[in-house]
Amino acid sequence: MTHFARHRSFSRSRRRFLQTSIATASSLALSSCGWTLARVQTDQVRRGASDELHIYTWSNYVDQDLINAFRKQTGIKVISDVFDSNETMLATFQAGKAGTYSIIYPSDYKVIQMVTLGFLSELDHSRLEGLSNILPRFQQSVHDPGNRYSVPVSWGTTGLIYNTDKVKAPPTDWDYLWKNRDNLARRLTLLDDVREVMGATLRSLGYSYNSTDPRQLKQAFDKLMELKPTIVTFTSDAWRDQLLAGDLSISMGYSADAVNVMNQSPKLKYVIPSSGTSLWSDTMVIPKTAPNPDAAYAWISFMLQPEVAARVTERLFFATPNEAAFNQLPPHLQNNASLFPPKGLLDKSETLAPLERPVMELYEKYWTKLTSG
């Protein structure tokens, strides 16, 4: 969704690589339960000067098990570099330093901006196997209708993760933060993401996450300034260890991170605010400067295989947009409301829609004032 934002300093989050112990455990699990590898035909990869595929991604989206499985099928070596925010990723392009990468993992709302800037190749669907496995709402997203430039790889929600030892009355909606700010003083973190933080505040006022009304944006900013003394920091990662240690009471975060951290401590719970939240997705794209587009198509087809997508969801705890993969998940994951929320909550929630530049500049002006000092 901070996104899935979003954004990232070091931590074991949906944006960060899993610890070695987790990777080792997943490797054992794969060998014991039997990973059915994607049938990616090697003749699909017309190798040129290199048998390497360079990927630029959020770090816990590509683990060693995945890299090894892909290489076993195709003979292609994967080198994965990570970015900590969509802004960092985009700045890499704008600085002309992205020519190494053949696959990029931007969040949904960045895709349209990258298309406008002329960075992305239009996808040849005839070279992609399994695209029909994607749920219809991700095939016709507002950001890229018809998946012309991007293929979704994950999705989720944004909500509140709280420590039940510190919070006696559990939060149910965004306004909890303001109503309880005296009790939360210096024990609250919000995401390092202007759209997520402003959007949640707009929603608490009864407005859309995607408001373009200057008066509504000013109201949201003023309301956030009331909350600012309560906020320890704006972070999309560092909250995890602090929350686990009991140094924080509540953190705003992404569903994938929430499920991951709840597996580490039964004291931690996740709530999707009842008035609605943001729905985020992360995608795979091929830049126009890709040095190995053939390998890039092979990678996307590999990731679209239900067996591959299901196993990745089991290890990395983000919701798959692949319907065939969802059907292969164990019941405890299919029924996990933090990963796959009920329809009623989804109907109240919104994707972060692209905003015109003048409106985005207003958001950024308020964000600078909020986060400075």
Query: Under DSSP, is residue 174 helix (H, G, I), strand (E, B) or coil?
Result: coil
Tokens of 169: 């009355």
What would the CATH number be for the domain defined by 20-155+281-340? 3.40.190.10
- Alpha-carbon distance 209 to 277, whole Å? 8
Domain coordinates in residue numbering, the chain: 20-155+281-340, 157-279+346-371
Q: Alpha carbon 183 to chain centroid distance? A: 30
Closest CA to 304 of 77, 82, 151, 126: 151
What homologous superfamily does CATH list for 157-279+346-371?
A: Periplasmic binding protein-like II (3.40.190.10)
User: Which amino acid is located at 39 in the chain?
Assistant: R
pLDDT digits (tens, 9 = 90+) for 80-104: 999 878 888 999 988 988 899 999 9
Q: What is the pTM of this model?
A: 0.80
pLDDT digits (tens, 9 = 90+) for 238-284: 899 999 999 999 999 999 889 989 999 999 999 999 999 999 999 99
Task: Tell me what pLDDT residue 257 has.
Answer: 87
Burial class (CB in 10 A: 0-12, 13-18, 19+), 364: exposed
Name the β-bridge partners of 252: 160
Closest CA to 360 of 37, 90, 155: 90
Q: Cα-Cα-Cα-Cα dihedral of 72, 74, 77, 79, to 10°?
A: -100
Least confident of 15-24, 184-193, 207-216: 15-24
Tokens of 306: 């239900």
Rounded to a whole number, what is the largest CA-CA distance in the chain?
Answer: 63
Domains 20-155+281-340 and 157-279+346-371 share a fold: yes
- Alpha-carbon distance 192 to 188, whole Å? 13
Inter-axis angle of helices 293-304 and 64-74, to 10 degrees?
110
Q: What residues contact residue 136 under an 8 Å CB cut-off, 6+ apart?
A: none
Least confident of 83-87, 122-126, 272-276, 359-363: 83-87
